[in-house]
Amino acid sequence: MSIDITISEVGPRDGLQSIERIMPTAAKCAWISAQFAAGTPEIEVGSFVPPKLLPQMADAAEVVAHARTLEGLTVATLVPNLRGLERAVAAGAHKVSIPFSMSETHSLRNVRKNHAEMLAEIGRCVAFLDTVPDAERPRFEVGLSTAFGCTIEGPVPESRVIAMAERVTALGADEVGLSDTTGYGNPVQLRRLAEGIWSACGRHMLNGVHLHNTRGQGLANALMAVELGFTTLDSSLGGLGGCPWAPGASGNIVTEDLVWMLEAMGLRTGIDLERLLAVRAILQEALPGEPLYGFVADAGIPKGVGPVG
């Protein structure tokens, strides 16, 4: 079946990274398998950060290896730097994102690099990927995080985000993504940023958004994204996760709610909502007591979704 919108499930990475308790590797793999079976086309399965900094992600290579056995799944991962990228390539990730915080203060706190140092690191990543055989080379995306504002710096100038997207494009990244790390974004801001980046870098350079629902605006921003023509939207099963380094920034978009809205609008995600809702049980069993969110999970799927003449 062809799909209109690719939902990239980020729960196993963005969701879990903000949880202290380690989810056993087997449970992660069961989650990923179940969510793939429900029709999820892309899953961000882990992060290649130093295990001592984030023990939750120590098994990233094992999880990638499992995810690669699921035929048709795009296996995405996050890396903080060249060292992580090397590990991701060795593990066999199909897609790698490196977050590049538009707030320099946040960047320094998060990865201890200023903007010049991050641009240099991205350049080294591209140079390394040039040495990787085509068959093993993942797609390389730079995630423009805190693009909508920063809990530490406050507003982030849009001109800076656009300028950084241009620099990253010139360095040879395959794509940039817009990340509302802090849940500050609004639909008009998303449109301005997207149009600015498309105009500066070319339409092909930006196709994905990572939105949060911190102020309840996640699905409104998602609606604007699909209206603008974005084709990949990140979300998290049960709304698990946030960014532990951006204080007060919590609340990924809930995958179940996003699927419901898009499918009700007639946009195909390839995901079976009832099977997706059933995947929550795996999280509940592996992380007992961990709060899971979701309006559709609470209210149920409406009788006979979709319009009638």
> Residues 288, 289, 291, 300: which binds a copy of itself (CB under 8 A)?
300
Query: Is there binding between residue 3 and a copy of itself (CB under 8 A)?
Result: no
Query: Is there binding between residue 159 and a copy of itself (CB under 8 A)?
Result: yes
Query: Is there binding between residue 109 and a copy of itself (CB under 8 A)?
Result: no
Give the dihedral sign, CA 265/45/173/122. positive
User: Is 168 in a helix, a strand, or coil?
Assistant: helix
Query: Is there binding between residue 180 and a copy of itself (CB under 8 A)?
Result: no
Which range binds a copy of itself by CB under 8 A, 13-21, 85-93, 111-119, 222-230? 222-230
| CB nearer to a copy of itself: pick between 121 and 256 | 256
Query: Is there binding between residue 306 and a copy of itself (CB under 8 A)?
Result: yes
The span from the CA of 33 to the CA of 90, in Å, is: 21
Question: Are 182 and 144 a contacting pair, CB within 8 Å?
Answer: no
**243 classed as catalytic:** yes
The token pair at 261 is 């809205």
Which range binds a copy of itself by CB under 8 A, 19-27, 83-91, 133-141, 179-187? 179-187
> Residues 248, 268, 278, 285: which binds a copy of itself (CB under 8 A)?
248
Q: Which helix (H) or strand (E) holds 6?
A: strand 6-9
Rg (CA), the chain: 18
The span from the CA of 127 to the CA of 46, in Å, is: 23
Residues in the chain: 309
The span from the CA of 153 to the CA of 146, in Å, is: 10
Residue ranges binding a copy of itself (CB under 8 A): 149-151, 153-159, 182-184, 186-189, 192, 213-217, 219-220, 222-224, 248, 250-251, 254, 257, 260-261, 264-266, 294-296, 299-300, 302-304, 306-309
